[in-house]
Structure 1
Amino acid sequence: MVKAYVLVQASVGKIPEVAEALRAMPSTLSCDDVTGPYDVIVQVQVEAIEELGQLVAAQIQTIEGITRTVTCPVVNY
């Protein structure tokens, strides 16, 4: 299993809709609205790293209102 945090920037006024769409995704473990340079931080889990790229590019980044994402895969040492 691969876990990652996706840091999301959203258009002005779109944070509630973006967060709602992210929370509805089956791969979402948690989703929080935050303050600072990012608007929403979502934790996701997929089977393989290849699925992570597909999830971000084909599902998360296509949500209306998302302007930018940064993906941070979890590494456990």
Structure 2
Amino acid sequence: MVEAYILVQTEVGRAADVAREIAAIDGVAQAEDVTGPYDVIVRASADDIDSLGRLVVARIQRLDGIARTLTCPIVKI
């Protein structure tokens, strides 16, 4: 199991809508609209890193209103 934080920049005024849409995607545990350089912070999980990449590219980045994402896999020691 791979978990990650996904930092999302949205188009102006779209953060709340984008967070709500992302939260409904399978594999997403939480999506919150925040202030700062990123507009939405997402916590997601997948079976492996390839599946996580597909989740981000095929499901999240394709939503309307998203300008950019940054995926940060969680390191567990």
1:39-58 CA-partner distances (Å, limit 9, x unpaired): 00000011111101111111
Structure 2 residue aligned with 1:65: 65
Q: Report the alpha carbon displacement of residue 24 of structure 1 after superposing the two structures with TM.
A: 0.4
**Structure 1 residue runs of 4 or more that deviate by more than 6 Å after TM superposition:** none
Give TM-score, length-normalised by structure 2.
0.96
Count of matched residue positions in the alignment of Structure 1 and Structure 2: 77
Q: Spell out the pairing of 1:25-64 with structure 2 (5 A cutoff).
A: 25-64=25-64
- 2:30, 2:50 → 1: CA distance? 21
Give TM-score, length-normalised by structure 1.
0.96
RMSD: 0.7
